[in-house]
Amino acid sequence: MLAIPGLGGAALRRLLARHGSPSAVLRAGVAGAQGLLSAQQASHFAKGPQEPEALLQRTLRWLDESPQRGLLPLGDPRYPEALLNTPDPPLLLHWAGRLDLLKQRCVAVVGSRDASAQGNTHAAQFGQALSQAGFCVVSGLALGIDGAAHEGALQGPGSTIAVLGCGLDQNYPPAHRRLRERLAQDGLLLSEWLLGTPPRPAHFPQRNRIIAGLSEGCLVVEAALRSGSLITARLAAEYGREVFAIPGSIHEPLAKGCHELLKQGATLVQSPQDIFDELLPAQVRAGQTANKPPLKARTQSSPSPRPGADGTLAQTALSPALQQVLQVMDSQAVTFDVLQARCGIPTETLQSLLLDLELEGLVARLPGALLQRLYRA
């Protein structure tokens, strides 16, 4: 089912809720999907998956290469409860490494790919300190802060989980080949993407919801205002997780994202103890959380253009392509397929444009693979 193009997680969950299992869904066919799919989705469903036999053989070969590999469907008792209770849990996770790490308390550590030397040092130090305290560090295996956090966490018993924006058989990023190999032995690699899926811009915001969902807290080490790390922090806040940020110089661009989070109510962090004070012990955390104001602007993590006289967003700073996408979006949430049908932009190009709009705070991804345009009052 996951190999059928054009079906999002929300549609697949509706089908599973009606029929109970993937095999039952496929046996029921298009008739059994009546009322659950759009016309375009029903057309994709009728055509079925692309090259299913090739995908099956690829997956079986990958599983046979190591006993530390497997598949984790939504109904599996080993599926992490924290992720299960989020609005849009992945239907299937591919894993490699130590699956027992999913049972540990987790803290996300995220930040810029173009991190400063000091930022990388902070990420490694916080990653190691969290791991030494028994927390499993969750990040995205990207260059910069992510990689440094993974390296630090591998030095402690808590270890680390890397959530990828591509299939687990893809060597991405190439510079982290050796780190991937270490994680596949002493940590854990996770991905919802089928084997053979390359990294694409639209995959990373979706990947970020898994990072936020697995974790009870999210630390942003360094981030620019237009940063995917702020998307992760926003999702963490929406899921009711603690959000932490390390401050920096007011003249440093990579500190501006952290400062924006701090203005919105994130916890200022100067040492790992600041995180422990919030998360340990549980009784202290519960008391502090109850009296703590919520993180502001949870649907928008970065500044957007000011509204014009008619109350709509001023779009003069946007490229014509970005303006075109916004113009065909109304206030109602839409699926990617519906949006693409409206604007007629190729899939890869539209995914890239949506990522830019999300980083600008003009579009939000909602549970169920829905997209919605954001307006400022």
What would the pLDDT profile of 180-229 be if each residue is shown by its tens digit? Answer: 999 999 999 999 999 999 999 889 989 999 999 999 999 999 999 988 89
Distance CA 225, CA 246 (A): 14
Q: For 243-269, what is each residue's pLDDT tens digit?
A: 999 999 998 999 999 999 999 999 999
Segment 316-335 mean pLDDT: 81
CA distances (Å), origin 351, targets 26, 112, 305, 358, 361? 28, 21, 21, 11, 15
Enter the CATH code of domain 69-291: 3.40.50.450
Numbered ranges of CATH 3.40.50.450 in the chain: 69-291
CA distances (Å), origin 170, targets 60, 162, 299? 16, 14, 32
CB neighbours (10 Å) of residue 323? 13
Numbered ranges of CATH 1.10.10.10 in the chain: 320-373
Given a cut of 70, is residue 282 above it in pLDDT? Answer: no
Angle at 316 between CA 312 and CA 317, to 5 degrees: 115
Give the pLDDT score at 289: 42
Distance CA 149, CA 147 (A): 5
Give the pLDDT score at 365: 79
Give the pLDDT score at 215: 98
Which tokens go with 343? 């604007």
How would residue 281 be classed by pLDDT, with cut points 50, 70 and 90?
low
Given a cut of 80, is residue 298 above it in pLDDT? Answer: no
How would residue 331 be classed by pLDDT, with cut points 50, 70 and 90?
low
How would residue 17 be classed by pLDDT, with cut points 50, 70 and 90?
confident
Give the pLDDT score at 309: 31
Segment 351-367 mean pLDDT: 80
**Category of 267 on φ-ψ map: left (φ > 0), alpha (ψ -120 to 50) or beta:** beta
Cβ 161 vs Cβ 186: under 8 Å: no
Given a cut of 80, is residue 88 above it in pLDDT? Answer: yes
Residue-by-residue DSSP string for 225-285: SS-HHHHHHHHHHHTT-EEEE----TT-HHHHHHHHHHHTTPEE-SSHHHHHHHHSSHHHH
Name the β-bridge partners of 94.
Answer: 71, 191
Cβ 94 vs Cβ 76: under 8 Å: no
Given a cut of 50, is residue 307 above it in pLDDT? Answer: no
Given a cut of 90, is residue 41 above it in pLDDT? Answer: no
Enter the CATH code of domain 320-373: 1.10.10.10
Given a cut of 70, is residue 300 above it in pLDDT? Answer: no
Distance CA 160, CA 141 (A): 10
Given a cut of 60, is residue 288 above it in pLDDT? Answer: no
